[in-house]
């Protein structure tokens, strides 16, 4: 009479290890998925910072195709496309991010950035307007300033630029943009001050050096500022000053500056030589 019980015990003894094995396999699979997700996140960060833009685009496209619902991969692809200077494609990917339930205000700001790069200022403004005012970041206000600039809303542009500068320890790029905004409005003294301030944060930024020279030249100050510059940069800045002088009718000063640029440049300065030849042929006036 005890045999059935023994049989049941034996049967249970064969079933339980099998169930445990299945449970163990499922746990291992989940653990591996977690590890893979962590590894992929780390690789994604690496691709965004260290890989070439085209390599990053290829990686995120491939990985997103295998995991079409992952918002982190959509973000990675969109950011990589921006890095690869393909903003129109980035805008399309950001549009997919906007439809995801995990979309954030940071995503909306990055979408606006891509829209600006693609030249769609109206949609960029609309996207920034959808971000609540309590979301205050350097990137948000930098873009707000650029949009206000594009709309020639100078008061708002100045306010946004000032806010953006206060939200970063590396404001060189935004100060340079602000200075160029002032330059385009004809406020040359304010532009000069902003470009000079830019160079205190990044003395190597040649764009700011060139802009500074243009702002000074627009005030008919044709001397080079006391800033850090290489011999090549000095020649190129003299060339910028020369063109500014000629455009303002100060042709003799412009000619002298062109000659200085040619003599200063360590190699053959073709652009300055051509400008001198144009003057000699009467092309300036």
pLDDT the model gives residue 22: 52
Percent of the chain clearing pLDDT 90 (strictly above)? 79
Task: State mean pLDDT over 253-279.
Answer: 95
pLDDT the model gives residue 212: 98
Per-residue pLDDT of 32-74, as tens digits, reads 444 454 456 678 888 888 788 999 999 999 999 999 999 999 9
Per-residue pLDDT of 127-171, as tens digits, reads 999 999 999 999 999 999 999 999 999 999 999 999 999 999 999
Range 47-50, long-range pairs (CB < 8 A, 24+ positions): 47/76, 47/80, 48/76, 48/79, 48/80, 48/83
Per-residue pLDDT of 5-21, as tens digits, reads 443 333 334 444 454 45
Q: How far, in Å, CA of 255 to CA of 269, rounded?
A: 14
231 close to 239: Cβ distance less than 8 angstroms: no
Q: How far, in Å, CA of 273 to CA of 142, rounded?
A: 39
pLDDT the model gives residue 35: 45
pLDDT the model gives residue 282: 75
Per-residue pLDDT of 185-238, as tens digits, reads 999 999 999 999 999 999 999 999 999 999 999 999 999 999 999 999 999 999
pTM for the structure as a whole: 0.80
Could you tell me which of 141, 84, 87, 81 has the C-alpha nearest to residue 109?
141
Helix axes 105-117, 138-150, angle to 10 degrees: 40
pLDDT the model gives residue 50: 74
């Amino acid at each position: 009479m005890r045999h059935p019980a023994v049989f049941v015990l034996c049967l249970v003894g064969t079933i339980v290890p099998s169930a445990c094995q299945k449970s163990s396999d499922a746990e291992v699979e989940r653990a591996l998925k977690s590890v893979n997700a962590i590894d992929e996140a780390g690789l994604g960060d690496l691709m965004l910072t260290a890989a070439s833009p085209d390599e990053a685009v290829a990686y995120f496209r491939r990985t997103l195709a295998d995991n079409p619902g992952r918002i982190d991969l959509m973000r990675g692809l969109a950011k990589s496309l921006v890095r690869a200077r393909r903003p129109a494609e980035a805008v399309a990917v950001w549009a997919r991010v906007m439809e995801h339930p995990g979309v954030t205000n940071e995503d909306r700001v990055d979408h606006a950035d891509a829209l600006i790069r693609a030249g769609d200022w109206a949609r960029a403004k609309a996207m920034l307007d959808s971000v609540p005012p309590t979301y205050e970041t350097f990137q948000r206000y930098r873009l707000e300033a650029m949009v206000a600039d594009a709309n020639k809303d100078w008061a708002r542009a100045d306010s946004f630029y000032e806010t953006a500068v206060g939200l970063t320890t590396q404001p060189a790029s935004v100060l340079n943009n602000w200075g160029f905004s002032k330059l385009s409005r004809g406020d040359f003294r304010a532009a000069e001050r902003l470009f000079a301030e830019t160079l205190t944060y990044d003395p190597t930024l040649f764009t700011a050096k060139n802009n500074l020279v243009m702002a000074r030249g627009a005030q008919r100050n044709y001397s080079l500022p006391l800033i850090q510059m290489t011999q090549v940069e000095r020649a190129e800045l003299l060339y910028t000053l020369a063109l500014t002088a000629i455009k303002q009718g100060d042709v003799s000063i412009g000619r002298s500056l062109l000659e200085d640029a040619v003599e200063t440049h360590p190699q053959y300065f073709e652009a300055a030589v051509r400008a001198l030849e144009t003057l000699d042929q009467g092309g300036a006036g």
